[in-house]
């Protein structure tokens, strides 16, 4: 059953996900990425969960979202609170899930018109 259109005008939509690729607006990405509901999609310079720093989440906070969906890779892992401090200080909500679930959740939220950013960790294989 189709719940929402494949493309919503002016909104970034995830069309596909594999362990090595996230397809956004028809373009495949083979690296971790920051995906705002509207605006430019950008690479997120982190290849492994263990390499995450507060600066990675500062880049997310700079986009000033209402909510962040953090895709932690192939399995669910929670970032340490001190890494999330830039988001916490701005009172930005953050939900953590594996990257596949984060992709699905992101699409639902943008279809609802939410101001969301997906921070998606795509570990290199």
Tell me the torsion sign for CA atoms 43, 49, 50, 53: positive
How far are the Cα atoms of 2, 57, 124 from residue 46, in angstroms, in the given order? 33, 11, 10
Residue 92 three-state SS: coil
**pTM of this structure:** 0.90
Average pLDDT score, the chain: 91
Are 70 and 95 in contact by the 8 Å Cβ rule? The answer is yes
Query: Is the domain 14-120 a CATH 3.40.1230.10 member?
Result: yes
Has residue 4 got a pLDDT over 90?
no
Taking only the tens place, the pLDDT of each residue in 14-66 is 999 998 999 999 999 999 999 999 999 999 999 899 999 999 999 999 999 99
Residues 6+ apart with CB under 8 A from 14: 22, 23, 24, 35, 103, 106, 107, 118
């Amino acid at each position: 059953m189709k719940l929402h259109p494949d493309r919503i005008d002016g909104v970034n939509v995830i069309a596909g996900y594999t362990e090595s690729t996230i397809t956004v607006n028809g373009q495949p990405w083979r690296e971790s990425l920051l995906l705002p509901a509207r605006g430019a999609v950008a690479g997120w310079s982190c290849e492994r969960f263990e390499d995450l720093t507060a600066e990675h989440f500062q880049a997310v906070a700079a986009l000033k979202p209402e909510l962040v969906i953090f895709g932690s890779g192939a399995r669910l892992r929670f970032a340490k609170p001190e890494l999330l401090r830039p988001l916490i200080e701005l009172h930005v909500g953050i939900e953590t899930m594996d990257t596949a679930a984060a992709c699905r959740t992101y699409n639902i939220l943008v279809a609802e018109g939410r101001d969301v950013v997906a921070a998606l960790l795509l570990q290199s294989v």
